[in-house]
Structure 1
Amino acid sequence: MSVGGTHLFLFMTEGMSLAKWRDLGMLRREIALYENLRPHLAGITIVSYGDREDAALASAFSGIDVLCNRWGLPQGIYRRLLPGLLRRARRGAAAYKSNQTSGAALALSLARRNGACFLARCGYMLSDFKRRAEGKDSAAYKNARALERDAFIGADRCVVTTEAMKDEIVGYGVPSDRVSIVPNYVDTALFKPSPPSHDGRRRVAFIGRLTAQKNPLLLIRALAGLEAELDIVGQGELRAEIEAEAARCAVAVTFHGNLQHERLPEIINTAGLFVLPSHYEGHPKTLLEAMACGAAVVGTDVSGIREVIDDEKTGLLCRPEADALRSAIARLLDDAALRRRLGEGARAHIEAKMSLDRIVELELAAYQAALAQRTKDARLGA
């Protein structure tokens, strides 16, 4: 079944908007995939929780529309209007797709109401993150499990980023052949190697939210005594604590705040060494982008990172402990040949598996499978 006549509706995460993507520096990264998908589809509409500012932002994107609360209505009223707004916007067969699990329930209910196929996409398992943050007995974990179960079982196609996530979804009772693995993509034309500045300084880069999950305090402690400077891109509630720990450990840190996506390659390439010390991850985009730049990368040997880094081939894995992380960083700082070998391996891996062109192919195949499943189920009266 061809997807050329299909209109894709992307439902943003609950409460998210294009304006928030912009403020987080994510807008270009998130939109690039859909700009590359647009020539293959009848239309693409992003369903946003934002206001008229989102409509203005969308005008800069070629061939991509946005459905947003441009009238400033209460969210409850806006949601009640969505079925009709979606029908009027539709061109051709419709495919509704969630960007993350939070927001999938609305997309699923509207897909069934409007006769569209539904793709339950997520880049990380919400239940796993809630379990780690709040515990298995928490209401947040139980609610996330219920959201996932309903979305995945109700979907015509599930789309996840890793094999481990696929296994979890199959555990909900979803047939394996209804799950597509589509990794996060990297714009390899933007994220590419460039010669680092040779000013004699030893530099390390970290890009991510300054939160407990990302574990930036471990990185500060690991850098103590290494005489390396740290560039941090991102914001979060741990900023003051990181500043205090950096002063205590005598680590020089430059805080860049949130930067627009196109500025990240310069940060990565200037450092040449990227560290992700998280407690856990889904399929971390910043790590993939650092690898695409040919940076030497170090990651903690935890879920979501160990699936990305092939130890000693595309980067280094280490225990999530300060001494182990310090040893891995020191090894790379002191060995230019090792940095070069790992960086070349990382770049080759990303180009082969996660380039934008490759992910567009996988996305289109998932849409095709979802449409075929919806047609089959309709014939069977499902």
Structure 2
Amino acid sequence: MHVLIVLTYGVSFRDWKETGLLEREMKLYERLSKDKDVHFTFLSFGNSEDINIVKNFNVIPLYDLIERKKSKFRNFINSFIIPFKVKKLIEQPDIIKTNQLMGSWVAIILSFIFLKPLIVRTGYDAYSFSKYENKSTLKIFAYFLLTQISIIFSNIYLVTSKTDETFLKNKFFKTKNTVSILPNWVDESYRYDKKEINKRIKNKILSVGRLEAQKNYSFLINSFKGLDIEIDIVGLGSEKEKLTKLSSSNNVKVNFLGRYSNTELLNIYKKYSIFVSTSLYEGNSKSILEAMASGCVVVAKYNSNNKEIIRNNKNGFLFRNEHELKEIIQQLIYDNEMILDISQNAINFIKQNNSLSYISNEEYKYYEKVYKP
């Protein structure tokens, strides 16, 4: 079986490498290649450097074939021409797949060229996010239109949560037999170890995410006012200066740890007992899943997507306001048995629902569903 993967519009393997995502993002394809004998070809929006970055798979860097323009508009127009430029370089695929809504039009055109089934997978609902972020009416409409077009022309349109599935089926048409769920996967290598959990940091909490408004770090800092607990944040972003001033004025110790590769981050999770997410909105949050898989007790802001992952007081905690967050943190600090129980439940949940082995098998089932030898 030969699957053609179209990377997100404008994204290259060099980008993945520089942001520390490369090793993680390739694990799924390495597993499917090894266990299911699936042959992958990748179309990236990079140059020949991408071929040297990913050596175990066939890579076609699009900007090695067509000039990258300074104008974003011209690059966008060229993206409709790209499929016709590369078709002779691609061995006949059996399936075409893209992992984000952005760039799905490239995959749609290739699907028509090769007359092969198309799978579109989205990690989050871009249309909903555009409304949450108060994008312009034009951008919101563009995301709506692109979502609808992608649903119409895909054989399978995968989302990561029941919340997203329900939303799409209520808002868009031609969804009944097209839209399905495939959650995010995480590394499941960590094994529950009571002694190791007991040795973890308890006077600090960990949070991971971009320093942007969506992550709601101002709420986190305000909530910790008066608590003798430090906040460690992994991530970069435009709000660092603002958050530094806020932490100083509230007398809350916040350590901005910067960015780490995913491999490094997985080791960082294992140093902490408690992980907090204050994001205003999320999809199937990878950071929450990774924290749970690493044995952290996750305390997350209530929303419908987080509710699908966290069973309150069983494998984690959900809060709605500053008072609830502070109350949960204070309870956890003085109740080690609760930390141990929640940690074990979280690890078990991830193994059953989000492990790489489980999700790779589920992904392959979707391949089989559309594959026509």
Q: TM-score, normalised by structure 1?
A: 0.88
2:371 aligned counterpart, secondary structure: helix
Question: Where does 1:297-312 land on structure 2 (aligned, <5 Å)?
Answer: 297-312=298-313
2:148 maps to 1:154: no
Paired residue for 1:37?
32
AA at the equivalent of 2:371: L
AA at the equivalent of 1:314: N
Offset, 1:36? 0.7
Offset, 1:84? 4.5
Question: Where does 1:12-51 land on structure 2 (aligned, <5 Å)?
Answer: 12-39=7-34, 40-51=36-47
AA at the equivalent of 1:23: E
Paired residue for 2:344?
344
1:209 aligned counterpart, secondary structure: coil
Offset, 1:192? 5.0
Structure 1: any 5+ residue segments left out of the alignment? 1-5, 376-382
Query: In the superposition, relative to structure 1, how do residues 314 and 49 fare at CA in structure 2: closer, same or farther (>3 Å)?
Result: same
2:72 maps to 1:73: no
1:306 aligned counterpart, secondary structure: helix
Paired residue for 2:356?
356
Over aligned residues, Cα RMSD in angstroms?
2.2
Q: TM-score, normalised by structure 2?
A: 0.90
AA at the equivalent of 1:322: E
1:146 aligned counterpart, secondary structure: helix
1:271 aligned counterpart, secondary structure: coil
Offset, 1:88? 2.6
Deviation readout 1:233-282 (Å, 9 max, x if unpaired): 11111111111111112222222211011111222121211011010101
Contact 2:100 2:123 in 1 (8 A): yes
Distance across 1 between alignment mates of 2:220 and 2:175: 41
Contact 1:161 1:183 in 2 (8 A): yes
Distance across 2 between alignment mates of 1:51 and 1:178: 34
Offset, 1:199? 8.1
Structure 2: any 5+ residue segments left out of the alignment? 69-74
Distance across 1 between alignment mates of 2:139 and 2:109: 22
How many pairs does the alignment contain? 362
2:260 aligned counterpart, secondary structure: coil
- Worse overlay, 49-58 or 293-302: 49-58
Distance across 1 between alignment mates of 2:58 and 2:197: 36
Question: Where does 1:1-382 land on structure 2 (aligned, <5 Å)?
Answer: 6-39=1-34, 40-59=36-55, 62-63=56-57, 65-70=59-64, 73-74=67-68, 75=75, 80-91=81-92, 93-134=93-134, 138-171=137-170, 172-189=172-189, 191=190, 193=192, 195=196, 198=199, 202-319=203-320, 321-371=321-371
Query: In the superposition, relative to structure 1, how do residues 200 and 17 fare at CA in structure 2: closer, same or farther (>3 Å)?
Result: closer
- Worse overlay, 231-240 or 72-81: 72-81
Distance across 2 between alignment mates of 1:200 and 1:169: 41
Query: In the superposition, relative to structure 1, how do residues 252 and 173 fare at CA in structure 2: closer, same or farther (>3 Å)?
Result: same
Contact 1:48 1:68 in 2 (8 A): yes
AA at the equivalent of 1:49: F
AA at the equivalent of 2:59: D
